[in-house]
Amino acid sequence: MGVNDSDSRKDSITSSTSSSHLDLELLQRLFVKFEPDLTIDSYEEAQGSGRGDNYTAALFRIALKGHTQPEGSSKKLKWEKSIICKRLPDCKIKREAFKSEALFRNEVVFYNTIMPEYIEFQRRQLAAASGTGKDQTGTTDVLGEHGIFQAIPQCYLARDDLLVLEDLRVRSFTMPDRQAGLGPKQLEAVLVELAKFHAVSLAYKRRHPLEFQKLANALEEGIFSQANAEWYRKYYDVLTRNAIQMVRQTVPEKKEHLAKLEAFLSNCFGHLVELVNRKSELSVICHGDCWTNNILFRYADDGAIAETCLVDFQLIRHGSLALDLAYLIYCCTDGSLRKKNLQNWLQTYHRQLVQSLRFLLGELFDEVFGSEKRLWELLNDDFKVCARFGLGTAMDMLPISTCSSEEAPDLYASGTDTAATPPELNVPPNEMCRQKMTMLVLELIDGGML
């Protein structure tokens, strides 16, 4: 769809009916900062994600075309760039059902405030470690060499109604298969980046406690707050009934397991609120929504994972790092893989967490955590407590991740509803979902975590 065709789609990023209006003037202002001789002549847009890939915001891929003309030169050089634009859904009922405005603001805080502060903090620690006493400038490569967290797309603009981000596809990043979930190597690669991300929080909190609290206070819990309990009540009633039914249909003989499941799910939303608000030595700023569709990989020629990138920070929250681990592991992996690899995965995460913390904290590491062994014990204790958070979120995510694109809701379809209504679950569980849910429930109960 071309820029001159914006009237043909109500939900177009270029639609003048949207507050997040995008035009050549805005794009020119954004990119001339990086290339002063640039003139953007035109752009075209296309849908940036498929059905079932995104629910709280609309993504569009924008192809920019223009030219550069250095001062004093008569020659114009062709210039092209692809970017991702993320904006609120046009349909009011979709925005209000999932409280998209608040979630969008969280991501704006992440890109405008949290991540710049984290990058600068890591640069300062790198400078201190190198003995130069100087901040490292232009240090993207330098930071990467030291295992520092920077696994996010470049952000060109972040405001309450619009995000303009790097198109990772240009650098050959691809999204894993939503229905297949993550394999062992993919999961390990994500755990390494999560450990780096969480380590920055832990170190920054120790070195700058007041500043860290300000960052945490700038975030709004997107779902699991007591204020949202009534809004999501019917939604979670459906989720819990479906989960119980799936397990009962698959293993009807497991009476004691079903009783424990029903006891937990009788106040599922309340339990999830408690877990999110639980105090922990390992409280960090969490990604909050680390599932298959918010992870991209770039592969080397030999098929090995060369780089991992995390996207979509709308559900970012302040809570135990084990919330991210439970969400990722229990929503994105198969039970048979967890049985073989869970402890190895946690050890992979712990090794990187220790490595990053020792770099960022230096001699303060032992003062803060006592020893690497004690940090391992804290990690395991928190994971056992937060494992049930993985179950609570899996009830929501497994039907979405296992359904086909045709069965998934269409976020881009225009709607006529104007009344504020809670979200409705319209993705019926399938056989794959039933098997995954049952294996998860049995695993948690048999492991003493539910």
Q: Is pLDDT at 304 greater than 60 in this prediction?
A: yes
Q: Is pLDDT at 241 greater than 60 in this prediction?
A: yes
Quickly tell me which residue has 């006529």 as its tokens: 416
Look up the CATH number of the domain holding residue 176: 3.90.1200
Q: Do residues 296 and 273 share a domain?
A: yes
| List of residues 6+ apart from 105 with CB closer than 8 A | 160, 220
Cα separation, 148 vs 418, in Å, equals 45
pLDDT of residue 55: 58
Residue 74 in domain: yes
Q: Do residues 108 and 125 share a domain?
A: yes
H/E element holding 165?
Answer: strand 162-166
Confidence band for 22, pLDDT divided at 50, 70 and 90: confident
Helix axes of 372-402 and 268-277: crossing angle, nearest 10 degrees: 140
For 93-102, 141-150, 405-414, which range has the lowest pLDDT when averaged over its residues? Answer: 405-414
Residue 410 in domain: no
- Looking at the chain, the number of H-run helices and the number of E-run strands are 15, 10
Q: Do residues 49 and 180 share a domain?
A: no
Q: Do residues 51 and 150 share a domain?
A: no
Token reading at 148: 């520092």
Q: Do residues 54 and 185 share a domain?
A: no
pLDDT of residue 424: 74
Task: Give the tens place of pLDDT for each residue, 131-161.
Answer: 755 544 444 455 555 668 999 999 999 998 8
Residue 134 in domain: no
- Which strands form 162-166's sheet, in the order they lie side by side? 38-47, 58-68, 77-87, 162-166, 155-159
Q: Do residues 36 and 148 share a domain?
A: no
Q: Is pLDDT at 349 greater than 70 in this prediction?
A: yes
Q: Do residues 391 and 431 share a domain?
A: yes
pLDDT of residue 416: 53
How many domains, the chain?
A: 2
| Domain encompassing residue 347 | 95-129+143-155+168-405+420-447
- C-beta pairs of 253-261 under 8 Å, 24+ apart in sequence: 254/442, 257/441, 257/442, 257/445, 260/445, 260/450, 261/441, 261/445, 261/450
pLDDT of residue 13: 43
Could you give the residue ranges of the DSSP H alpha helices within 165-279?
184-207, 209-217, 233-250, 255-265, 268-277
Q: Do residues 123 and 212 share a domain?
A: yes
Name the DSSP letter for residue 385.
H
pLDDT of residue 419: 58
Cα separation, 326 vs 239, in Å, equals 18
* pTM of the predicted model as reported, rounded to 2 decimal places: 0.90
What letter represents residue 414's amino acid? S
Residue 12 in domain: no
Q: Do residues 77 and 99 share a domain?
A: no
Q: Do residues 67 and 184 share a domain?
A: no
Q: Do residues 78 and 100 share a domain?
A: no
Residue 385 in domain: yes
pLDDT of residue 12: 43
Residue 73 in domain: yes
Residue 250 in domain: yes
Residue 1 in domain: no
Angle at 289 between CA 228 and CA 429, to 5 degrees: 80
Quickly tell me which residue has 């397990």 as its tokens: 247
Q: Which of 135, 153, 154, 148 is nearest to 200 (CA)?
A: 148
Q: Which string of b and e fits 432-444 if b means at least 16 CB within 10 Å? A: bbbbbbbbbbbbb
Q: Do residues 37 and 118 share a domain?
A: no
